[in-house]
Amino acid sequence: MKMKFKSILAAATLAVAAQAQAGHAEHDHAGHAAAAATTAAPAVAQAEGEVRKLDRAAGKLTLRHGPIASLEMPAMTMAFRVTEPKVFEGLAVGDKVRFSTRRIDGAYTITAIEPMK
């Protein structure tokens, strides 16, 4: 009986240790994934569009653009945030443009823009 109890105790100890190790491995993996996500730079997407509205006061530029595959975004008209006022320079409603955007603090932001010739 003593031998059976020791076997059951050993098996239970091994099971608890294995479960703790599995939980630790999952925790480590999740921690590494979270660290990688925070250190990776947000993806920059490039697209073409047409200027629909310039709102310098609000720091927004409304563009009608085609699909942006890298963002899984369909064609639409939307306002993008502009962090640099120089983005507005030389632009007018109706201009065809090539632009780069990325998500910064939850908002799609124009990072570069140029008129198409």
Confidence category of residue 114, pLDDT binned at 50, 70, 90: very high
Q: Which pLDDT score, from 0 to 100, does residue 71 have? A: 87
Q: Which pLDDT score, from 0 to 100, does residue 40 have? A: 55
Is the pLDDT at 36 greater than 70? The verdict is no
Q: Which pLDDT score, from 0 to 100, does residue 70 have? A: 87
Query: Would you say the C-alpha torsion 116, 74, 43, 87 has a positive or negative sign?
Result: positive
- Considering the domain 45-115, what is its CATH architecture? Beta Barrel (2.40)
Q: What is the pLDDT of residues 80-104, one digit of tens each?
A: 999 889 999 999 999 999 999 999 9
Is the pLDDT at 24 greater than 50? The verdict is no
